[in-house]
Amino acid sequence: MKILLLDKNHPLITEQLSAKGFLLDEDFTSSYDDVLKKILDYDGIIIRSRIPIDRNFIEHAKNLKFIARVGAGMENIDCEFAELSGIRLISSPEGNRDSVAEHVLGMLLILMNRLFIASNEVKNGIWKREENRGDELLGKTFGIIGYGNMGKAVAKRLSGFGCKVIFHDILPNLSDEFATQVSLEELKKESDILSLHLPITPETHYLIDEKFISEMEKDFYFVNTARGKNVKTKDLVEAIKNGKVKAAALDVLEYEKSSFENLETKNEDLQFLLNSEKVIVTPHIAGWTTQSKEKLAQVIVDKILIEIV
């Protein structure tokens, strides 16, 4: 079975699959059109986000048996057409859920306790104590939207912080020892903190907009490590300015390229986020640790060996 690797990943993918008799080729630079010219030769592809696997791509890949996405989100793939074409879809959200959960807690603690701001001030000879008084997680209600691998990992990390953790998900009966499932209305009523752990779909595109924010009963902290387009940035910015959103921790932005490698748009709303003391922004690295790189790759290898061989 021949496999084409279209993005750089941990070398264990090549090492372990080669040892099992797979033939692997690497192509980390060819354009979409150049890949199309040779995709007919391959039984499987392993990707991250560099090249979109759309209907046209799949129609050219007549011999493709599987598409393996090293990561969680599958929005770069026409999943419906792939499945109709008999192609197996594999992803590895188990591989970076711990990294995402730690990133959520890290950003939130920095934000609520003004750690980055206070550190920079002291380094510049400014000593402010009252102005940098923090806000505790203890006693707050932490609301999660999306209780899959990432949401559950976040809830588990919160178990030692004295929070009440609630979540909303479209699937029923997901409550566990770490969090209680509630309606979206109840989540909006109770949450002091809101964290997104959703794929990007037509239903979740711009889920967080002016209407949603206005329906939150309390002023709240907002965390997004899911997808930038889950949030209508213009409405989030307005909510930060008027105090409805106390502060925001954003690892993803509406203005990212589809490959997540950089920003494709710059505007006033983005500049506000980058300049505001009430906002922390990181470059889509919540799932990006040394450990997660290896775990993501290992999950992909294990699933290929179990589901495809």
User: pLDDT (tens digit, 9 = 90+) per residue, 267-302?
Assistant: 999 999 999 999 999 999 999 999 999 999 999 999
Per-chain mean pLDDT for the chain: 96
CB of 200 closer than 8 Å to CB of 73: yes
First to last CA, the chain: 9
Annotated active-site residue in 48, 50, 227, 254: 227
Residue 158 is predicted with a pLDDT of 97
Active site includes 131?
no
- Reported confidence tier of residue 33, pLDDT bands at 50, 70, 90: very high
pTM: 0.94
Radius of gyration of the chain (CA): 21
How far is Cα of residue 34 from the mean position of the Cα atoms in its chain? Answer: 29
Residue 257 is predicted with a pLDDT of 83
Work out the percent of the chain whose per-residue pLDDT is above 90. Answer: 94
CB of 300 closer than 8 Å to CB of 70: yes
Annotated active-site residue in 130, 256, 268, 307: 256
Alpha-carbon distance 93 to 111, whole Å? 26
Token readout for 226 is: 């899911």
Annotated active-site residue in 157, 284, 294, 307: 284
CB of 99 closer than 8 Å to CB of 288: yes
Above 80 in pLDDT, residue 58? Answer: yes
Token readout for 191 is: 């949450």
Residue 263 is predicted with a pLDDT of 86
Active site includes 50?
no
- The dihedrals phi and psi of 257, each to the nearest 5 degrees, come to -70, 160
- Reported confidence tier of residue 26, pLDDT bands at 50, 70, 90: very high
CA distances from 64 to 30, 46, 80, 152, 173 (A): 19, 11, 15, 33, 36
SS (H, E, C) the chain: CEEEECCCCCCHHHHHHHHCCCEEEECCCCCHHHHHHHHHHCCEEEECCCCCECHHHHHHCCCCCEEEECCCCCCCECHHHHHHCCCEEEECHHHCHHHHHHHHHHHHHHHHCCHHHHHHHHHCCCCCCHHHCCCCCCCCEEEEECCCHHHHHHHHHHCCCCCEEEEECCCCCCCCCCCEECCHHHHHHHCCEEEECCCCCCCCCCCECHHHHHHCCCCEEEEECCCHHHECHHHHHHHHHHCCEEEEEECCCCCECCCCCCECCCCHHHHHHHHCCCEEECCCCCCCCHHHHHHHHHHHHHHHHHHCC
Active site includes 284?
yes
Residue 260 is predicted with a pLDDT of 77
Task: Report, as an integer, the average pLDDT of 123-139.
Answer: 97
Residue 73 is predicted with a pLDDT of 87
